[in-house]
């Protein structure tokens, strides 16, 4: 495939290839090498229709470290404000000679539509509540780096599962890599039929965290909740927030993860977010290596997507 649209459709071989390639780039970054000529002459556009700190900045750095030219497009300062469609915007940028389009869009399936329309590679950087594959890949990378494996681990994903593209991509990726996945959150934030994805679902956070090797806490997405948060942020913290007491139920060497941005004091308490189990900062660092691997593979490095070709 020329695109990375989601982990639902990605086969295990390609997931493993991305993780292995990311390891090579992590080693380069460990040596503080911030420029390799791999993508000299190539161009990447970050086409973001929703806000982002981590994903957009790390794709920009990943491209620049590989010597690609990177342009950042933002909805507010572009001709989208004059009514230009997504298709026309993307085609316009492609015709300037761009090889990879990284897109974040509020509509599920927007990257898939663009992938059919463009010759350029398309990377889904988050489409509504559907998928965020590069986040899940950096989460998989971080778990493998810290635990040495993914297979057989118990991973608890806690919080707003309903609105979470991170949860969906993580569930597909983790299951394919052989992990046991459980989820927990308020009944109002658990999608119906979630167990059809092969996960166990709980409404008591404690039941999910019990014996977990990894606890991945999700952001409460206030902006996607039309009627405001139910329960309220304060109630949420008391009943569902992950804090030191609840984290004690997990394995002693548990990894505490969060994709960011965090609502400190709501879904996660500050003491554990900054505590010794937390790998939240490492997730961010690993995001650069994983996105370097993705840009490298989509530009013809390695044998990504061979099965489809």
**Which residue numbers belong to the known binding site for L-aspartate?**
82, 165, 219
Residue (100 or 305) nearer to ligand CP, CB: 100
Q: Which is nearer to ligand CP, 36 or 61 (CB)?
A: 61
Within 10 angstroms of residue 35's Cβ, the number of other Cβ atoms is: 11
Q: What is the rounded CA–CA span in Å between residue 159 and residue 220?
A: 7
> Site residues (CB under 6 A) for ligand CP?
52-55, 126, 135, 259-261
Q: Residue ranges of the alpha helices (H) in the chain?
A: 12-30, 54-65, 86-94, 110-117, 133-147, 165-176, 205-209, 233-240, 244-247, 270-273, 280-298
DSSP for 230-266 reads SS-HHHHHHHH-B-HHHHTTS-TTPEEE--S---BTT
- Listed in sequence order, the residues at least 6 apart from 288 whose beta carbon sits closer than 8 Å to its beta carbon are 25, 29, 58, 61, 62, 65
Q: Tell me the sheet residues that pair with 90.
A: none
Nearest approach in angstroms of CB 28 to ligand CP is 23
Q: Smallest distance, Å, CB 172 to ligand CP?
A: 17
Give least dist CB 15 to ligand CP, A.
19
What is the DSSP-derived secondary structure letter of residue 278? B
Task: Tell me the DSSP string of 88-104.
Answer: HHHHHHHTTT-SEEEEE
Annotated binding site: 54-55, 82, 104, 132, 135, 165, 219, 260-261
Q: Pick the closer one to ligand CP by CB: 53 or 270.
A: 53
- Cα(71)–Cα(155) distance, rounded to whole angstroms? 36
Cβ distance to ligand CP smaller for residue 54 or 91:
54
Is 104 or 180 the residue whose CB approaches ligand CP more closely? 104
Distance in Å, CB of 126 to ligand CP, minimum: 6
- Comparing CB distances to ligand CP, the nearer of 54 and 176 is 54
Alpha-carbon span 143 to 216, nearest angstrom: 11
Minimum Å gap between C-beta 238 and ligand CP is 25
Annotation: binding site for carbamoyl phosphate: 54-55, 104, 132, 135, 260-261
Report the nearest approach of ligand CP to the CB of residue 252 (Å).
27
CA 126 – CA 134 distance, rounded (Å): 8
In contact, 285 and 278? CB cutoff 8 Å: no
């Amino acid at each position: 495939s020329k695109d990375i649209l989601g982990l639902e459709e990605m086969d295990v071989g390609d997931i493993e290839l991305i993780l292995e390639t990311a390891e090579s780039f992590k080693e380069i970054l460990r040596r503080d090498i911030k420029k390799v000529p791999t993508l000299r002459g190539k161009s990447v556009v970050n086409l973001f229709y929703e806000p982002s700190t981590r994903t957009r900045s790390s794709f920009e750095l990943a491209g620049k470290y590989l010597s690609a030219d990177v342009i950042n497009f933002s909805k507010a300062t572009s001709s989208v404000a004059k009514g230009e469609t997504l298709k026309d915007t993307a085609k316009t940028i492609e015709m300037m000679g761009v090889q990879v389009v990284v897109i974040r869009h509020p509509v599920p399936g927007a990257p898939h539509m663009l992938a059919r329309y463009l010759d350029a590679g398309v990377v889904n950087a988050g489409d509504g509540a559907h998928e965020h594959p590069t986040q899940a890949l950096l989460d998989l990378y971080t778990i493998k780096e810290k635990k040495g494996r993914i297979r057989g681990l118990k991973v608890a994903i806690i919080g707003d599962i309903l609105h979470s593209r991170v949860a969906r991509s993580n569930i597909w990726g983790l299951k394919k890599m052989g992990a046991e996945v459980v989820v927990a959150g308020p009944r109002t934030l658990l999608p119906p039929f979630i167990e059809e994805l092969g996960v166990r679902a709980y409404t008591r956070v404690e039941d999910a965290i019990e014996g977990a090797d990894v606890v991945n806490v999700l952001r409460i997405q206030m902006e996607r909740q039309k009627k405001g948060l139910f329960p309220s942020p304060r109630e949420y913290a008391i009943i569902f927030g992950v804090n030191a007491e609840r984290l004690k139920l997990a394995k002693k060497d548990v990894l505490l993860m969060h994709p960011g941005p965090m609502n400190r004091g709501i879904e996660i308490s500050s003491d554990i977010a900054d505590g010794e189990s937390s790998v939240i900062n490492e997730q961010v660092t690993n995001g650069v290596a994983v996105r370097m691997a993705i840009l490298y593979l989509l530009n013809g490095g390695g044998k990504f997507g061979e099965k489809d070709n």
